[in-house]
A = this chain, B = another copy of it.
Amino acid sequence: MGTLNSNNNAQILPKFNPLDPEQFRNQAHQMTYPVLSQVEPGYLRTQLPQNAPNRPESFESIMKDVQNHIVPGMTHWLSPNFFAFFPATVSSAAFLGEMLCNCFNSVGFNWLAELEMIVMDWLANMLKLPKTFMFSGTGGGVLQITTSEAILCTLIAARDRKIENLGLDYIRKFVIYGSDQTHSMYTKACKVAGIFPCNIRAVPTSIESDFALSPAEFDIWFHVDAAYGGSAGKCPEFRQYLYGIERANSLSLSPHKWLLSYLDCCCMWVREPNVLVKALSTNPEYLRNKRSEYDSVFKSLRLWFVMRSYGVANLQSHIRSDVLFDAVVPRCFSLVCFRFSPNKEHELGYTEFLNKKLLDSVNSTGRIYMTHNIGATFTEDRHVISTWKLIKETTNALLRESVF
């Protein structure tokens, strides 16, 4: 029970506020870790026991290990200084959607889950995809884990459509063509699907044609992987990058790359859902009861949460606000491929050596992490400016050391 005395004491002490946002902001900003893991391989094995504990451990002791051993060994994809691979965009709406999905922990057996159908059509409408890709038209879409899965699934569908006409033995004659700019997953998916490696072709593309492919009018399955850039298509000024999509058989796009969603989330649309279903569905006895077909919520809930919480207008402005910087080859969205080339007369091998040295030096500072720059969700002007400053400082230092 309180007394007058203790009340008097309270007036002398500074006001107690356990949720002071300013104090939190200051302290949180001091909890910084290098964006790129600074540990050596094998470090974690020396920190953690050889076996799982027999008795429960306290939450506090687990979190202490997370802080001391796990976090320092991580590369932080959400850091604004993360310029590597691709941006892992997130949002608070996506986090709430994740939590809700976890609460349900539901298995969506049927790919025709209703919310998924609705969400896929919503996104297709945002991107102004043709009706041939929509459930409200003659096509449809399905959520996958990653682009890798989407490419594998479409490849199997395309393969089996041909097998049906030509017979199984033709598998060794099937040829797959991809742009020479295609993700390495393309080759892997082909191998998984039993395509002979000698039949996997890379079609040369060039900067003059914006690395575009113009598939001739052959009877081929034409898949477009728009994992990162596809999200820009919802802005009218970037819709041009999806021109001709009506000629594709399928399209994949990963909202975890530029649509404020958590890993893993990949949208895939196909013009002929029946071909995909035929190639990949099973019909075992234990799924054959009246209700198994109707599970209506799958992970689509997460994407639905993002779209409703922000609305099309905000999702468009997110694309427009992403930090862009200049590049040697024409910049496309925020994807910049630049290189250091102090002397244009250097051989290509030497230029590559210079850039590798520069990249290793910059990354070894732990302050930023870059491979092929795209920029993370929380990246602001100041991060790009300080990154550029660091790159120039490092270049100058290397020049002084006569490394170049």
Residues of the B chain whose Cβ atoms lie less than 8 Å from the Cβ of A96: 59
Q: Mark A102-119, 1 if CB is under 8 A from B, else 0.
A: 101111010000110110
Most buried by B among A76, A121, A125, A191: A191
Enumerate A369-402 residues with CB–CB distance to B below 8 Å.
369, 371-372
The reply to whether A107 and B88 contact each other, CB–CB distance below 8 Å, is: yes
Question: Given the complex of chains A and B, what is the CA–CA distance between A121 and B51 in angstroms?
Answer: 8
Q: Mark A279-305, 1 if CB is under 8 A from B, else 0.
A: 110111011011111111100010001
Partner of A76, one of B45, B50, B104, B159: B104
Copies, count: 2
Task: State how many angstroms separate the Cβ of A353 from the closest Cβ of chain B.
Answer: 14
Contact partner, A104, options B54, B74, B284, B309, Cβ 8 Å: B74
Q: How far is the CA of A374 from the CA of B351 in the complex (A)?
A: 62
Which stretch of A18-26, A34-42, A203-211 is in the interface?
A: A34-42
The answer to whether B156 and A192 have CB atoms under 8 Å apart is yes
CA distance A90 to B102 in the complex (A): 9
Q: Among the listed B52, B284, B294, B313, which residue makes an inter-chain contact with A41, where contact means beta carbons less than 8 Å apart?
A: B294
Classify the secondary structure of A's interface with B. Answer: helix
**What chain B residues lie within 8 Å of A289 (beta carbons)?**
359-360, 363, 371
Residues of B within 8 A of A57 (CB): 308-309, 311
A70 at the interface (CB under 8 A from B): yes
Separation of A44 and B100 alpha carbons in the complex (Å): 18
Contacts of A183 in B (CB 8 A): 284
The distance from the CB of A263 to the nearest CB of chain B, in whole angstroms, is: 6
Q: Which residues of B contact A263 (CB under 8 A)?
A: 105, 107
Measured CB to CB, the nearest residue on chain B to A78 is B105
Q: Which one of A166-174, A217-225, A242-250, A342-350 contacts B? A: A166-174
Whether B50 pairs with A121 at a CB distance below 8 angstroms is yes
A54 pairs with B371, CB closer than 8 A: no
Contact size range, A = 35 or more
Chain A, 249-298, CB within 8 A of any chain B CB: 262-263, 279-280, 282-284, 286-287, 289-297
Does A13 make an interface contact (CB < 8 A)?
no
- Cβ–Cβ contact B360 & A290, under 8 A: yes
Residues of B within 8 A of A104 (CB): 74, 76-78
Bound together, the chains give a CA A32 to CA B197 distance in angstroms of: 55
Q: Complex: how many Å from CA A307 to CA B48?
A: 13
Is B54 in contact with A77, judged by CB distance below 8 angstroms? no
Complex Cα–Cα for A312 and B49 (A):
14
Residues of B with C-beta under 8 A to A16 = none
Q: How far is the CA of A373 from the CA of B389 in the complex (A)?
A: 63
CA A39 to CA B145, docked complex, whole Å: 27
Greatest chain B CB density within 10 A among A117, A183, A309, A359 is at: A309
Kindly list chain B residues whose C-beta atoms are within 8 Å of the C-beta of A297. Answer: 70, 73-74
A329 at the interface (CB under 8 A from B): no
Which of A88, A104, A301, A313 neighbours the largest number of chain B CB atoms within 10 Å of its CB?
Answer: A104
CA gap between A118 and B106 in the complex, in Å: 28
* CB <8 Å contact, B98 and A102: yes
A292 to B37, CA, bound (A): 10
- 15 A-B pairs with CB atoms under 8 Å apart are A36-B291, A37-B291, A45-B118, A51-B122, A53-B311, A54-B312, A56-B309, A56-B314, A74-B104, A74-B295, A78-B105, A90-B105, A152-B192, A188-B282, A193-B194
Given A48-B118, A70-B296, 7 extra CB contacts under 8 A: A41-B294, A52-B123, A52-B312, A59-B309, A75-B106, A75-B291, A168-B197
